[in-house]
Chain A
Amino acid sequence: MNKTITQALLLMSVFLLSACTHVAPFEKEALASQKMLSSPMPERGAFEGHVFQIREGTFGAESGFQGGCGCK
């Protein structure tokens, strides 16, 4: 029985570890907060975003682009 419980817990944690999830529109208030910007200075944000995308090789994972969950 202990083994079953361990397996079940492991299975549940695997599911809970999924990286992407749907965010309801009313939950996006926190994501839209100024604190969530990568740069504290909006004037510098576009430049920093550009550098970030080149450095990290990411595209579409930021607020400035669509597909904000970073799955792309």
Chain B
Amino acid sequence: MRKYFLIGCLLLCSMGSSYLYAEVEIGSRALDFSLPKVGSSKESITMGSYKQESILLNFWASWCKGCKKEMPFLHKLAKDNEKKLSVIAVNIDNKETKAQNYIDKFTSKMGETSKIKFVYDKEKSLPKAYKFEAVPCSLLIKNGTIIKYYVGSFDDESEQVVLKDIKEALK
């Protein structure tokens, strides 16, 4: 009896321990989601509606310097490949207003409305499901399958890699 009680306590402790990271499996199916657009709780974006397209699914936050650094690159990607590639940026801020403020600033800085589809994940359901280690990170999805996983902010070198990967994916 005592033994089982101690084992139970140990199990309880381990259950409550923490968030454990996991590597995103390349070749696995991308998770379905339906998330509201930032600043518009009535409009939402569903993964299902992009099943036949290529998607760059980016995860970002307004407090994350690396995320903001790569935003102009994502903006250019979305603009240059508007008809072939959907760039969906999932925000994981605690408050949606922070994301909205950043998007407003970004839009005025770029001088045009971005083609990036900004969505807000209030429950952090996607990062929890994918068990990401850090933001920014991005998934390149083709026909509902994850074909590439990028961790960290894109720099000159990794931008070239992403462009090459996207070119391959859009063939």
B63 within 8 A of partner (CB): yes
- What chain B residues lie within 8 Å of A26 (beta carbons)? 61, 92, 94, 124, 127-128, 135
B26 within 8 A of partner (CB): no
Contact (Cβ within 8 A) B63 A24: no
Contact (Cβ within 8 A) A16 B13: yes
Please classify the interface of chain B as helix (H, G, I), strand (E, B), loop, or mixed, using the class held by over half of its residues.
Answer: loop
A22 within 8 A of partner (CB): yes
Out of A8, A12, A25, A33, name the residue touching B135 (CB < 8 Å): A25
B interface, CB within 8 angstroms of A: 2, 5-6, 9-10, 12-14, 17-21, 59, 61, 63-64, 92-94, 124, 127-128, 132-135, 137
- Can you spell out 19 A-B residue pairs with CB atoms less than 8 angstroms apart? A4-B5, A8-B5, A8-B9, A11-B6, A12-B12, A15-B13, A22-B20, A23-B19, A24-B124, A25-B127, A25-B132, A26-B61, A26-B92, A26-B124, A26-B128, A27-B19, A28-B135, A29-B93, A32-B63
